[in-house]
Amino acid sequence: MATMAEDATVTAGDPVEPIDASPVNKPEARKLYAARVKIFPKRVSGLFRRLKWWILSLALGVYWITPWIRWDRGPEAPDQAVLADLAHRRFYFFFIEIWPQEFYYVAGLLIMAGLGLFLITSVAGRAWCGYACPQTVWTDLYISVERWIEGDRNARMRLDKAPWSFGKIRKRLVVHAIWLLIAVATGGAWIFYFADAPTLVRQFLTLQAPPVAYTTVAILTATTYIFAGFMREQVCTYMCPWPRIQGAMLDEDSLIVTYNGWRGEPRSLHRKKAVAQGKPVGDCIACNACVAVCPMGIDIRDGEQLECISCALCIDACDAMMDKVGLARGLISYSTLRDYGAHIADAKATSPQQATANQRKVHVSHIVRPRTLIYFGLWSLIGLAMLVSLSLRERLDLNILHDRNPLFVTLSDGSVRNGFIVKILNMQGAARTFELRLDGLDGAEMWLAGGEEQRGRSLEMRVEPDKLREFRLFVSQPRDAVKPGRADFDMIVRDRDGPESVTEDAQFYAPE
Amino acid sequence: MSTDDKTQNGSGLEVDEFSGTETTGHTWDGIKELNTPLPRWWLWTFYATVIWGLAYTVAYPAWPLVSSATKGFLGYSTRGAVEQTIADARAAQSDKISRITELPLEDIKADEDLLRYAVAGGKSAFLVNCSQCHGSGAAGGANYPNLNDDDWLWGGTLEAIETTLKHGIRYSLDEETRVSEMSAFGADEILNREEIEKTAEHVLALAGLDHDAALAAEGAVIFEENCAACHGEAGEGNHELGAPALNDAIWLYGGEREAVISQITKPKHGVMPGWQSRLSPTTIKQLALYVHGLGGGETSAR
């Protein structure tokens, strides 16, 4: 507040004017049937606020810029670096191209994301929630728009309470207009991941884009506007399952945003008077700054609670206040349960002042411990396995489907013929000619349906770049070579001008 | 609890002292019911569904009247939607359908894209109309020919198959139907039992099956006199007459000695209906292309 900013000479003994803030979203304050009480987070600056700005810019930057990065894959393939081409069932990620049957790579990425979340949570609590979750990022962005137009906490609260006037309407209109613009840009960017971005943006603006594009943008615009503009902390408190699961992910070595009650209590707004009266005083000056800045509307001094998203803004607010009154930083800090217990024991054994002096900063042993090592090990293992398999995977595949009805046909010369549907998948960006060859099955010959003139034990098949070629193939075995029942043989497809080759089992059926 | 103890709110209703919620005023054995208000989001959702429901019955067919229901502002009906979908599909296919109707079979066969469409249509028509006798895989069965193989009674070119489909075989309702009848050599006493057995031995010999060479040699003479006119000297058959080839591995009525004797004695004659009165010429063309493409189709002479 303005008075505090001017008053640079406050000392530990001087009273600080407390902020009139209450934790409206703490469970006891939440009536089951009451309407949401609006939260007006106060502006704060400090290390974690800066970190949050950096992560926000990075996340939004990646989200908005990625679809516009180009990547040359030759004339036959799209030149968008990241593209989920649903219509043609291809997924492009820079140098990687994934066909639908290779979807396990996406599953692997999701598993890595899950394990990564476990790892981060076991090290730094709900860092995902506090810094990188889209709900947090967009809410942060919306709040900063609000703050820019309407002013900081007090101004916003005054405006909210004020009767409707021209000035209020104008400010609100501007805020909501900017919110809607951000929402449209958010929904709009999403669709560019699914089609060529420059083409789609032209179609979109000239109203020639497919209806699904407009629907998607409309839905995402609405969700962004509602979630980040109105529901905010309610999404985290009521809708998201992660706060409920996090209890299982945290242990006594996880960093959580902690109010160090052992040095803060008893709180005292008028320290000097209390000291003079010989009452015990803690470091907490009951200024309520931590409550005023909290975007979740809670009081961190109530302890770890599921509403807390670990954004650490209260740490910034408290540290600033501690600097002002000349007390040591870290009254609210990232601390592990183990350290917290050690500090309490220390405070009891010596004094809170001594324990404050000994207060531990973040320590490597928090991070490197069996649990995090296992998560990291699994995470890297899957990552490595995917990298190895990506670099070794075949860009050629052969599918064989035997006719079910009839299983075999006896021809007039007594030979037996089987029909197959064969698919050759050329997963490279260049047209290739393959040799399809029979291995085993004495005397057998094959030919393409409708092309009986060219028959033999091997055929040449040209397959267009990045395409699947499907054809019907007949294989027949002469009368004297046919064995009753089932016979196994191999079909081999080999790149005529390259090293790739795939062998598949096949069956040949004849009358019993 | 006496009336004096009751806390009351502004409207005179009793308020529960623990929860601060007003009660309904009902008591059962001293248990009171709280009049807990519905959550606001729930209430608004409820109102929204009521409005939606009313609007829906105005926009779509809903209210039952004496002879029919209200039509609805949007004029929608499920039957109409189906008709529209079918009409759209027809319109989308009309180009291919008209090309199939106009082009000769050989030209359709040369057009890969059109052929794929025609064969797919032929296959579904086959499953509806033909699979009852020929089987869903067109592999036939006892007494019904397998259409996958390269042995044809009345010819396996596209034109021959189309003609068979149009007019049928021994189909009394079509004057142009394919007709032929093998004499009942035994039943009509043209040959005696011994001669028939010798002839059968010769037929087995023609097909390269186990046979008695001495009897077959005698049978060859009888065959030449009685059978070669239709089946050919070497038993190669005759498509013009629907006479099956006897020198191959495919037997419509069985290739065992007994089956051959039975067929010479009192032959079975298969009947197939002509389809031109029931299927459009386009569908028949699609069927011909499908059957021809099963693997045994013959190339036309021209």
Domains for chain A: give ranges and CATH numbers: 47-102+133-249 (no CATH), 256-360 (no CATH), 396-510 (2.60.40.10)
User: Which pLDDT tens digit goes with each residue over A446-465?
Assistant: 999 888 888 999 999 999 98
Cβ count within 10 A of residue A6: 8
Which one of B34, B147, B148, B290 would you mutate to disrupt binding with A, by most A Cβ within 10 Å of its Cβ? B148
CB contact under 8 A, B249 and A410: yes
**DSSP symbol at A301:** G
∠ Cα B185 B189 B193 (to 5°): 75
C-alpha B267/C-alpha A509 separation (Å) is 32
Hey, what CATH topology would domain B131-292 get? Cytochrome Bc1 Complex; Chain D, domain 2 (1.10.760)
CA end-to-end span of chain A: 94
Residue B60, CA distances (Å) to A82, A391, B15, B83 in order: 44, 57, 46, 18
Give the pLDDT score at A7: 40
pLDDT reported for residue B282: 95
Residues of B in contact with A449 (CB under 8 A): 293, 295
Name chain A contacts of B296, Cβ cutoff 8 Å: 409, 411
Residue A492 contacts residue A503 (beta carbons within 8 Å): yes
Residue A262 pLDDT level (bands cut at 50, 70, 90) = confident
Q: Which phi and psi (to 5°) does residue A386 adopt?
A: -70, -40
Q: Which residues contact A504 (CB under 8 A, 6 or more apart)?
A: A398, A399, A400, A490, A491, A492, A493
Q: Identify the CA nearest to A468 among candidates A194, A100, A172, A109.
A: A100
Residue of B nearest to A451 (CA): B295
When mean pLDDT is compared across A10-14, A291-295, A458-462, B133-137, the lowest value belongs to: A10-14
Look at residue B290 in the predicted model and tell me its pLDDT: 96
Other Cβ atoms less than 10 A from the Cβ of A228: the count is: 25
Phi-psi label, residue A301: left if phi above 0, alpha if psi -120 to 50, beta otherwise:
alpha
pLDDT score of B3: 45
Average pLDDT, integer, range B53-77: 90
CA pair distance B145, B157, nearest whole angstrom: 16
Per the document, the length of chain B is 302
Number of neighbouring beta carbons within 10 Å of residue B92: 9
Of A82 and A73, the one with more pLDDT? A82
Categorize the per-residue pLDDT at A15 as very low, low, confident or very high, splitting at 50, 70 and 90: low
Beta strands in chain B (DSSP E): 7-8, 14-15, 23-28, 31-34
Task: Determine which helix (DSSP H) or strand (DSSP E) holds A402, and give its type and residue range.
Answer: strand A396-402
Do A449 and B148 lie within an 8 Å CB cutoff?
no
B202 Cα to chain A: minimum distance (Å): 18
Nearest CB to A450; choose among B36, B151, B293: B293
Q: What is the nearest CA distance from A414 to chain B, expressed in angstroms? A: 5
Q: Give the chain B residue nearest A33 (alpha carbons).
A: B39
Q: φ and ψ at A284, to 5 degrees? A: -70, 120
Nearest residue on chain A to B131, alpha-carbon basis: A405
Q: Among B114, B149, B158, B236, pick the best mutation site for testing chain A contact (most A Cβ within 10 A).
A: B149
Cβ neighbours of A36 in B, within 8 Å: none
* pLDDT digit string, tens, across residues A356-377: 887 777 677 778 889 999 999 9
Q: How many other β-carbons are positioned within 10 Å of the β-carbon of residue A150? A: 20
A491 forms beta bridges with A438, A504
Phi, psi of B125, rounded to the nearest 5 degrees? -65, -35
Q: How far apart are CA A222 and CA A256, in angstroms?
A: 33
**Chain A hits for B137, Cβ within 8 Å:** 403-406
Provide the token pair at B24.
């309904």
Nearest Cα neighbor of B199 from B220, B214, B230 is B220
Question: Is the backbone of residue B143 left (phi > 0), alpha (psi -120 to 50) or beta?
Answer: left
Nearest to A4 by CA among A366, A320, A327, A263: A320
Stretch A226-243: mean pLDDT, rounded? 89
- What are the phi and psi torsion angles at A398 (to 5°)? -130, 125
Nearest to A253 by CA among A381, A113, A360: A360
Q: Which residues of A touch B250 (CB under 8 A)?
A: 410-412
pLDDT band at A245 (very low <50, low <70, confident <90, very high): confident
The span from the CA of A288 to the CA of A314, in Å, is: 10
Closest chain A CA to residue B151: A412
Non-local CB neighbours of B172 within 8 Å, separated by 6+ positions? none
Chain B residues closer than 8 Å to A450 by CB: 109, 293
Token pair for residue B213?
């060479």
Q: Bigger pLDDT: A316 or B11?
A: A316
Nearest to A330 by CA among A319, A317, A341: A319
First-to-final CA distance of chain B:
110
pLDDT tier for residue A184 given thresholds of 50, 70 and 90: very high
Identity of the residue in B109, B138, B248 whose CB atom sits nearest the CB atom of A412: B248
The residue of A408, A410, A471, A477 whose CB has the most chain B CBs within 10 angstroms, and thus the best one to mutate to test that interface, is A410
Pairing of strands A451-456, A396-402: unpaired
| Chain B residue with Cα closest to A447 | B295
| A62 interface with B at CB cutoff 8 Å | no
Pairwise CB contact (< 8 Å): B295 & A449: yes
- Nearest residue of A to residue B292, measured between CA atoms: A450
Quick one: tokens of A356?
Answer: 């404050």
Closest to B231 (Cα-Cα) out of B216, B220, B247, B252: B247
Q: In the numeric block, which tokens belong to residue A415?
A: 């030979």
CB atoms within 10 A of CB A288: 22
Contact B39 A32 (CB under 8 A): yes
Chain A residue with Cα closest to B299 = A450
Cβ distance A161 to A293 under 8 Å? no
A479/B contact by beta carbon, under 8 A: yes
Interatomic CA distance for residues A50 and B50, integer angstroms: 49
A327 contacts A12 by C-beta, under 8 angstroms? yes
Q: Does A451 touch chain B (CB under 8 A)?
A: no
Percent of chain B with pLDDT over 70: 95
- What is the C-alpha to C-alpha distance for residues A432 and A445, in angstroms, rounded to an integer? 23
**Is any Cβ of chain B less than 8 angstroms from the Cβ of A510?**
no
- Residue A411 and residue B39: Cβ atoms within 8 Å? no
Contact B196, B264 (CB under 8 A): yes
Nearest CB partner across the interface for B150, out of A33, A411, A419: A411
| Distance between CA atoms of residues B137 and A494, nearest Å | 32
Nearest to B151 among A32, A412, A449 (CB): A412
Among the ranges given (A151-155, A425-429, B36-40), the one the predictor scored with the smallest mean pLDDT: B36-40
B112-132 residue pLDDT tens: 899 999 999 999 999 999 999
Helices A47-65 and A134-150: crossing angle, nearest 10°?
110
Across the A:B interface, residue pairs with CB atoms under 8 Å apart total 58
Average pLDDT of A397-404? 94
Q: Is the pLDDT of residue A14 over 60?
A: no
Q: What is the mean pLDDT of chain A?
A: 88
When CB atoms are compared, the residue of A406, A414, A479 closest to B139 is A406
Strand order in the sheet with A458-463: A458-463, A432-439, A485-495, A501-510
- Chain A residue with CA closest to B245: the answer is A412
Minimal Cβ distance to A33: which of B39, B146, B151 = B39
CB A320 within 8 A of CB A300: no
Instruction: For residue A387, give Cα distances in angstroms to A109, A292, A384, A427.
Output: 11, 47, 5, 18
Burial grade of B142 (CB within 10 A; 0-12, 13-18, 19 or more)? exposed
pLDDT at B69 over 90: no
pTM: 0.73
Most distant CA atoms of chain A, gap in Å: 118
Window from A402-411, B22-31, B273-282 with minimum mean pLDDT? B22-31
Within 8 A by CB and 6+ apart from A290, the residues are: A259, A299, A300, A301, A314, A317, A318, A332
Contact check, Cβ <8 Å, B295/A409: yes
How far apart are alpha carbons A125 and B33 in whole angstroms?
44
B213 Cβ neighbours under 8 A, 6+ residues apart: B205
- The answer on pLDDT for A5 being more than 50 is no
Residue range(s) in chain B whose domain bears CATH number 1.10.760.10: 131-292
Residue A419 contacts B, CB cutoff 8 Å: yes
pLDDT tens track for A132-161: 999 999 999 999 999 999 988 889 999 989
- Nearest by Cα to A457 from A472, A442, A468: A442
- Beta carbons of A41 and A153 less than 8 angstroms apart: yes
Record: contact B295-A474, CB cut-off 8 A: yes
Residue A122: closest CA among A403, A310, A391: A310
Average pLDDT over residues A296-306: 89
Question: Tell me, what's the pLDDT at A6?
Answer: 39
User: Which of A414-418, B3-7, B275-279, B289-293 has the least mean pLDDT?
Assistant: B3-7
Segments of A179-318 assigned E as strands: 256-259
Cα-based torsion angle of the residue sequence A207, A210, A214, A216 in order, rounded to the nearest 10 degrees: -160
In this complex, do B250 and A410 lie within 8 Å of one another by their Cβ atoms? yes
User: What is the β-pairing status of strands A416-426 and A451-456?
Assistant: unpaired
- Closest-CA residue of B relative to A409 is B149
CB contact under 8 A, A413 and B137: no
Whole-angstrom Cα Rg for chain B:
39
Residues of B with CB under 8 A from a CB of A: 36-40, 109, 135-139, 146, 148-151, 208, 245, 248-250, 293, 295-296
Q: Are A17 and A3 in contact (CB under 8 A)?
A: yes
Nearest by CB: B37 against A33, A403, A417: A33
User: Using a CB-CB distance cutoff of 8 angstroms, which residues of chain B are in contact with residue A405?
Assistant: 135-137, 139
Chain A residues near residue B146 by CB distance under 8 angstroms: 406, 409-410
